[in-house]
Structure 1
Amino acid sequence: MGDSRATSFGAEADSYEAARPDYPFEAVAWMLERMPEGSRRLADVGAGTGKLTRVVVEARDAEVVAIDPDAAMLAKLREQVPGVPTFLGTAEALPLPDASVDAVVLGQAWHWVDPVTASAEIGRVVRRGGTLGLIWNARDDRVDWVRRLTAIMRASAAEEMLDAGGPTVASPFGPLDGERWEWRRSMTRAQLHRMAASRSHLITASESERTSIRRGMDDLFDQLGLDEESSIDVPYVTWAFRALRG
């Protein structure tokens, strides 16, 4: 996770938790359904505020640990998912023993890592036959106003990766299987602004650029008739991928 944007999110941990969408239970369950019989231990890497962690806890009767490079994000995770152990670390340098977990999952995070180095390091800690799961929530840019919103905010690194053909993994993991789920989330004008504020591009942008983006978003919302009291259905696509360790 060498890109400075990858470790910028702690500055907006509250906005990230409040405005980012949760992951559909069905997508997380699918991602983990090939875990070996009797699997008991999982690691959520790049766990952030625990958006994926809490669904993994619901989906699997197993011990879950959360790992992230940002202490501020992990502090928010401990508030949201009490009892889950947290550790500082990255996908390329995990604070876990060899062959100590049955699965590693990453939500909104694989686009920040070196896929070859991260695959090798995750392969070190995952037992043979274990699972690597990758998942993203992305706004559905096939809808005109959503496409215009993305143009104002600028496409994220994740959106660019998904548009370019999706993630890649390397040895010791086999080929990725992928699935997608389409759904909608009702959001207010304020929530959309907080969602934008939680994105790495805005966090690391200059004040003048942040002001310009906020102004562009407000112009779009005015055109849509989205006032401070109303909400709009935001179409999302959840992309999930899984690979087995050889």
Structure 2
Amino acid sequence: MDPDERSRHASSFGAAAVAYAEHRPDYAQAAVRWALELAPGLRVLDLGAGTGKLTGALVALGADVTAVEPDPGMLAELRRALPDVRGLAGSAEAIPLSDGAVDAVVAGNAMHWFDMAVAGPEISRVLAPGGVLAGLWNLLDDRVAWVAGLAKVAGSAAVGPRDTPDSWRAVTAGLHLPKNGGAACFGAPEQAEFAHGQRRTAGSLVETLATRAGVLVMPEGEREAALGRIRAFLAGRPETADGEFILPMLTGVLRLRRL
């Protein structure tokens, strides 16, 4: 994806901020604990925090959280949902915090939007020595047959290269890591995956997939056609045709430590 296309995708979420807050999943608590080795009072920056899906999990586990988000619509939803959290306008490339201000930096389904040539030194600057940088992604568990079928029908706009376990492992192994530079660098990355799930109906799963960037930037006719194919697939599967079901997921974590 070229820089202009990436920017168009990354900036698409604000128009769907309310739907994003309602339909996107949270993160497996075991994944959050592993990512940060959480201790009460740990100073954590949720970078590219969106509507606060990961922020809320961090608060529930006792972290002292600052959330930074560039999109005004997404930030407004975060502030509405989590009024006691410090929510700031800013970006990974321009973090509005002082040097060494946090013990950990996390990004939930966001690190792939960062320009790491700029964001890497910024993250290093605000992260205390020995601190952790962790990216978390919610993945569709395509080891389950109907989920694999859904991924195929949905196409790459709705289920992209970071949305299933095998492709996530490959894409995140080194692509989004900060480059060594300035006064700091990072140690070797670690990856781990944790079982997760989201209670959905066929309708709400379609709404969830409709908040993916690739779908949001589609021309209206193409978007409706794509969502129609997904509806038809879900209506034809016994696992999803009627009532509620659990969407099988994993939360994947990429973790590394500031030296």
Task: Judge same fold: TM > 0.5, yes or no.
Answer: yes
Q: Partners of 2:219 and 2:149 in 1: how far apart?
A: 22
Task: Return the alpha-carbon distance in structure 1 between the equivalents of residues 226 and 18 of structure 2.
Answer: 20
Root-mean-square deviation (CA, aligned residues, Å) is: 2.1
Q: Give the fraction of aligned pairs with identical amino acids, expressed as a percent.
A: 36
Within the alignment, does 1:57 sit opposite 2:70 as a pair? no
- Please tell me whether residue 164 in structure 1 is matched to residue 170 in structure 2: yes
Q: Residue 131 of structure 2 aligns with which residue? A: 130
* 1:195 maps to amino acid: T
Deviation digits for residues 9-56 of structure 1 (CA, Å, limit 9, x no counterpart):
111111111111111111101111177xx9642210010000000111
Instruction: Supply the distance in 1 between the matched residues of 2:63 and 2:244 (Cα, whole angstroms).
Output: 36
* Mapped contact 1:8–1:204 kept (Cα < 8 A): yes
Q: What number of residue pairs does the alignment pair up? A: 242
Q: Of residues 236, 241, 244 in structure 1, which corresponds to 2:254?
A: 241
Structure 2, gaps ≥5 residues long: none
Aligned equivalent of 1:102: 103
In the alignment, the residues of structure 1 paired with residue 211 and residue 63 of structure 2 have an alpha-carbon distance, to the nearest angstrom, of 31
Report the residue type matching 1:184 in the other structure. Answer: G
**Which residues in structure 2 correspond to 1:58-77 (within 5 Å)?**
58-62=60-64, 64-77=65-78
- Structure 1 residue 89: deviation in Å? 1.6
Q: Aligned ranges for residues 1-246 of structure 1 at < 5 Å?
A: 3-33=7-37, 40-62=42-64, 64-153=65-154, 154=156, 155-156=159-160, 158-159=162-163, 162=168, 164-168=170-174, 169=177, 170-171=179-180, 172-225=185-238, 226-227=240-241, 230-246=243-259
Provide the C-alpha distance between the structure 1 equivalents of 2:171 and 2:113, rounded to a whole number of angstroms. 16
Q: In structure 1, what residue type is equivalent to 2:11? A: T
Tell me, in whole angstroms, the C-alpha distance in 2 between the residues paired with 1:75 and 1:178: 32
1:158 Cα shift?
Answer: 2.8
Q: How far off is 1:185 after superposition?
A: 2.5
- SS of 1:178's equivalent? strand
Q: Any conservation in 1 of the 2:38–2:61 contact (CA below 8 Å)?
A: no
Separation (CA, whole Å) in 2 of partners of 1:219 and 1:90: 39
CA offsets, 1:124-146, max 9 Å, x none? 11111111111111111222322
Deviations 1:102-138 (A, max 9, x none): 1111000111123343222100111111111111111
